[in-house]
Amino acid sequence: MKKPMKIALLGLGTVGFGVYEFIQAHKDLELACAMSLVVPEGVTCPIVADIETILRDETIDTVVEVIGGLHPAYEFVTGALRAHKNVVTANKLLIAAHYRELVTLAGENGVSLRCTAAAGGGIPWLTSLERTAAQEPITRISGIMNGTTNYILDTMHRTGSSFADALSQAQQLGYAERNPADDLNGADIRRKLVISSNIAYGCVLDEAEVVTEGIEHITGADIAAFKRLNRVCKLIAASRRLENGVAAYIEPALMPPSMPESAIPQNYNLISLTGEHIGKQSFYGQGAGRYPTAYNILQDCLDVSRGVSGFYTDRLNEAHVDNSSIRRQYYVRVSGMDKWLQEKVDKILDYGMITKEVSVPEIHGWLKQRRRTDPGCFIASLR
């Protein structure tokens, strides 16, 4: 009979405790120990004080990292890989920032590196990308990849709540962090898009090249204007394979009610891939939360215990972001007209305006300059 996988769990926070509960209930997995500054009531496994104890223990074959952040997570994960231990993590910040190094380290040491929970929460998104990319070229990725912002936008549309009230509700329900900046400004979704695009296209994108606009400047008056346009606002991440490079960007988008993304409620995600032959496939589910995230961590552990090795891809081709071919009309709300906007405006609304078709780099470049004198201005593309 095969011995159960022996796991060291780094972190016993919200997600970590969910992982602890799942492991305890699964006979194929054994929790050798945990390392955490805070130990919740009811935890019975051994608690260790330092990573070296785990790295030196040859009976531990897998490290699950759910402490988050860059440091000391980076030192812990690279140490585990070099010690020939599999790593399962939900840390999107770490994976996006050190993608090439971590994938290479796992390959050099003959161990698995899995991070399905880092993009999609409880959705089996990265494993779906892995399977599809092994079969045929993936040409596009798009969708809602952040539960916090979707909850806020959905609440504002449905109830007429202000941005501040919708954010407060999200925090009370545990959908938003005490400091939600990375969700609201799009940084969280950018990391997910980078990881997803790298796996889908076999490349390595520089996160800094991905144009990103969040929802922190949206107002109730904007939502009312969208309703008059018969549109629903969602924060959309998108990338596509180009002949030379990748287009990749995140921005609020105004969707017709007939589009599937328009109907996604509360903290749910809807992410789609387009294959060269299979066309578009979509994946729906909760994008965050203790048990959805812990579920994918558990699934990664089980996959590794059943023989899944390495990362989702071994292709690490250099690629640059080029959004110049993506052109759309935009809703723009500013405090006053300027020369660029005057030349681009197509329609003046009772609140805001609609531009002519412009490229993604052009309008985001303008927005960056405009924010210096009009920090509350807001844009959203028309789909």
In this structure, what token pair is assigned to residue 330?
């935009």
The beta strand positions in the chain, using DSSP E, are 5-10, 29-35, 62-65, 86-89, 113-114, 138-144, 203-204, 211-212, 232-242, 245-255, 268-275, 279-286, 317-318, 327-328, 330-333, 345-348, 353-355, 358-359, 378-382
Q: How far apart are CA 184 and CA 215, in angstroms?
A: 6
Neighbouring C-beta atoms of residue 352, cutoff 10 Å: 21
Q: How far apart are CA 345 and CA 347, in angstroms?
A: 6
192: annotated active-site residue: yes
Catalytic residue among 85, 192, 234, 344: 192
Q: How far apart are CA 260 and CA 238, in angstroms?
A: 15
Rounded (5°) CA angle 203-139-283: 100
Neighbouring C-beta atoms of residue 283, cutoff 10 Å: 16
3 state DSSP class of 138: strand
First to last CA, the chain: 55
Backbone angles phi, psi at 349, to 5 degrees: -100, 175
Neighbouring C-beta atoms of residue 3, cutoff 10 Å: 10
Q: How far apart are CA 23 and CA 106, in angstroms?
A: 23
Active site residues: 192
